[in-house]
Amino acid sequence: MRNNYYKLLTLIILLAAFLVSCRSSSGDKKPGGARQSGPQIVEGFIVRPSVLEQSATVSGTIRSFEETTLMPDISGRVIMINLPEGQPVKKGAVLVKLFDSDLQAGLRKLQTQLEIARQTLKRQSELLTVSGISQLEYDQTRLQVNSIGDDIETLKAQISKTEVVAPYDGIIGLRNISLGAQVTPSTPLATIREVDQLKLDFSIPGKYSAEITDGKVVRFTVEGSDTSFSARVIASEGGLDATTRNLKVRALITRRDHILRPGMFATVDLPLAVIPDALLIPTQAIIPQERNKKVIVVHGGKAEFVTVRTGVRRPKDVEVTSGLNPGDTIVTTGVLFLRQGSEVKLVKLH
């Protein structure tokens, strides 16, 4: 009885395998033959002339119109600080004062000597008129007066070096010193910036250098904002950088905005030439190959591979400079499944 059970089980397994095999073979034949016999269904694009505004996107940096790192002219001890961090100061304001008591004492001494020498010169001038002294004595006293005056001017210049003054109206940054600090001519005290106006510095490839002229307006954006700002070109370098072959350009930002700060990264959109009748096609229609690029043109319901040359590339389309004519219909979908002479059926045209 057990043998009959195994025979029945084996028969059922074989019958099930046979039914599955028949169903699989019939399914393979039905759709496969149908797909291979008909034309390939694709979407197309009609080539039409359109206006192409060429532009180049480069990186730039926003800078203060003026920016200076304040440093003392001489070494000394700081006795006064007027560096209001983040606040404006006026041109000529004393920002830092160094110890100068010894110089002031020397100045007062010279001023006293000058007053005595001038009184002596006055008396000798009266004596000279009555031949009370010789001309030589009078000339020596006059030279002494002039010499003391020159020493006073020299000492005043030394005293002026103990003061650090604002070179222009601006905003003070963070100060780096405190009262009593010993500083030298290489010690950075703080930074002053003129931020009423801002500059935009950027570099462009040398091939676009002819497009840069004084007064040209460029657009730019900054990180963290969708607002587009404008700047007017005010100057450029006289030649290209020998390493990068780029031209450095400086533009003046036409409108001050609280969003814009010195040191910010900017994306600059530089307008170039305008082509009134450019042939633009979708980027997915291009088939890149080892040495050239091709597109598929539909002629008489069949696919024809055509070699093209491209120009300006944008995110969604690319300019074709040769190989296509206005009115041509090209394939935009399924390009990887077509062969030369394949039958195609256009179901949608753009």
Burial of 54 (0-12, 13-18, 19+ CB in 10 A): middle
Cα distances (Å, whole numbers) of residue 65 to 42, 169, 197, 201, 269:
57, 11, 6, 11, 21
The domain made up of 40-52+276-349 is a member of CATH 3.90.550.10: no
What are 130-182's pLDDT values in tens digits?
888 889 988 999 999 999 999 999 999 999 999 999 999 999 999 999 999 99
**Which of the 8 DSSP states describes residue 90?**
-
- Return residue ranges of the chain for CATH 2.40.420.20: 40-52+276-349
Contacts of residue 341, defined as CB under 8 A and 6 or more positions apart, other chains included, come to 302, 303, 304
Say what the pLDDT of residue 131 is.
83
What are 182-207's pLDDT values in tens digits?
999 999 999 999 988 899 999 998 88
Fold for domain 100-159?
Answer: Helix Hairpins (1.10.287)
Residue 97 β-bridge partners? 80, 163
Residues 71, 169: contact at Cβ < 8 Å? Answer: no
If one counts every other C-beta atom within 10 angstroms of the C-beta of residue 218, the result is 24
What pTM was estimated for this model as a whole? 0.64
Average pLDDT value for residue range 81-90: 94
- Return residue ranges of the chain for CATH 1.10.287: 100-159
Say what the pLDDT of residue 7 is.
59
CATH number of 75-99+162-188: 2.40.50.100
Distance from C-alpha of 181 to C-alpha of 77, rounded to nearest angstrom:
6
The domain made up of 57-64+195-273 is a member of CATH 2.40.30.170: yes
- Return residue ranges of the chain for CATH 2.40.50.100: 75-99+162-188
Say what the pLDDT of residue 96 is.
96
- Return residue ranges of the chain for CATH 2.40.30.170: 57-64+195-273
How high is the mean pLDDT of the chain?
87
